[in-house]
Structure 1
Amino acid sequence: MKKKISLLLVVLMLVTFMPMSMAASEEKAIESTQNFTVNGEAVDIRAYIIKGKNYLKLRDAAAALRGTKAQFYVDYDNDKHLVSIETNKPYEDLSNIKTYSSQKELWATMRNMDVLIDGKEKKLKSAFIIETNFIELRDLAKLMGFDVSYNAKTKTVAITSDKVKMPCLLDFELEDFDGNKRNIADILAEHEYTLVNVWSTEYAQCKKELPDLTKLANDYNDKAGFLGVIQNIEPLTSTSSDFDKKTREENIAKAKSLLEKADAKYQNLCPSQAAEKYFNFKIKAFPTVFIFDSEGNILETFIGVGAYGFYEKYERALKKYIK
């Protein structure tokens, strides 16, 4: 009789504790010291290693995969109180704030997290670390369709997914000396990278660097785009006076003369009101040179004269991106 009672007690204890252990478990999470790349380019991702696997934030993964076929958008569905994922939609991290614990070792609560993926409820393996869900990288890779490999020699986690053409972030017009208009997005779409020189006919340094910019444009003609924006040729409006019109004509004449003297064949255009506003917000002095990608992102900014001379300064920058 005593043996039967003891056996019943054991069974009761197993039944009592089993659901709790199956529901969630605690595992040690160690901050990863591995490097991460997406299509060969280094990305800033904070990950934790749990039982040999990388776990990372959904938003970090979404930001890293932007512009690839595996891109996805992350949000929160207030009605269903679930994290929402939309596939094939670019994610833009607007917070610019990344908060992580300074501790290198933490405890993670392992569980399956309910999420909405294109409106359908699914589960993802999750590690809950300090009020934040971290997702297993390879689990996410299967779901979103990207590849993950590891180079033990360089300690690099390589994420690969075919790139997609992203729409340009910029939308304003520029015009030539005859009034023909072109959208900045169309200009940037012609090359993967474009050097844009914002200059004025009134400044000596702007004039001085034109021959070097011309030589650079000729040398890199098939590798990058080149564009000049003459900021002191102001756009005409319905309220422009005769003096404004005359000043504009004089500045156009100066620009033509300077460009002809430098034998500059690359495009030099005049700003619209929207373009003028955009560049005025970006520049602090003349000349200012930007390197844009085809999506309208500014990759490099040079204000005034550099220490290496005009040609060398801009060539060094272009070589970072042109393979």
Structure 2
Amino acid sequence: MKNLSIITGTIAFLLICALAGRYVSGHWLFYTFASFQIQGAALAAVLATVAWLLHRNAVAGLMVIAAVAIGVHGYVMLGDFRQATPAPPPGYPADFKVVSLNIMGDNSFDNGGRIADAMIASGADVIMIQESAPLGPHIDRIKAVYPYRLGCGAQTITCDTSLWSKTPMVAGEVKTASPLYRDRLLLASIMVAGKRVNFANVHTTKPYFDNIHAIELKRATELMADFASRNPAPFFVAGDYNASILTPDVRRFMTENKLMTAPSEPATWPVAAPAIGMAIDHMFVADPLRFKSLQALPETYGSNHFGLVAEIWYQDLTITYPPN
């Protein structure tokens, strides 16, 4: 039993070290584990508890405490960027609706047709798609409802990241923030419900490719700031970040752009186990925008991510809203 306790405890110890690395180092390797901080800490706590039950000793007990502390801190950090109050009461109508989905570039073209149907029927004012290739054969019928777009031939030679709007764009730009992939940052300034809003569709690579994830987010911040200087309006930012808001470079991106999350973020990956999943696809807002609602789409349409749909208030800061 003691040997089994040592084996189990060693696994727990290594997992705790990987999760705790963020507190002592900014190395990109620890960014990969940061997204799993809560789930990983829960697993480490279970393993350490098993090790303690098999052979009761102080080291195993301390590992249980360390794992619980790391998990609790991760949970607390989820609230660091929750949208500010006050916000309009629940009965106050939303100003616009946005859908975002990574449809997976090698998704079948049959699913591309289903996704096109869902886009057309969504009622969204703006739709942001990542890895848009399966939509290629369906662009003409999507255009009948969303005639204004970036990507898939509009300012690009690629059909990767795309942004679709029911109303004209005051300005629209396709940018490259990544050393690996082109045209994965789309910036658009759009009038929605009579108010001007800047939209950013962001798709970053996975955080375990050296420090490229951090480079992409830093470059995105610079390009968004430049765009906003020429198109003053609050930002609505969405896309696939391949990382949770527990990851240090995502947190830096949110801080530098003064972005907020909804009161809670739905898990978007892995789709096979949503109960233990995490939010690696995001929607963020900047003042004076507020979330009325944020939900995962009920179907994946063959993707390996759940998409997101949000209803947004454009808060009038001169109005005192009734209490919720």
Q: TM-score, normalised by structure 1?
A: 0.25
Richer in strand (by share): 1
Name the structure, 1 or 2, with higher relative contact order (CA <8 Å, separation 6+): 2
Which is greater in Rg? 1
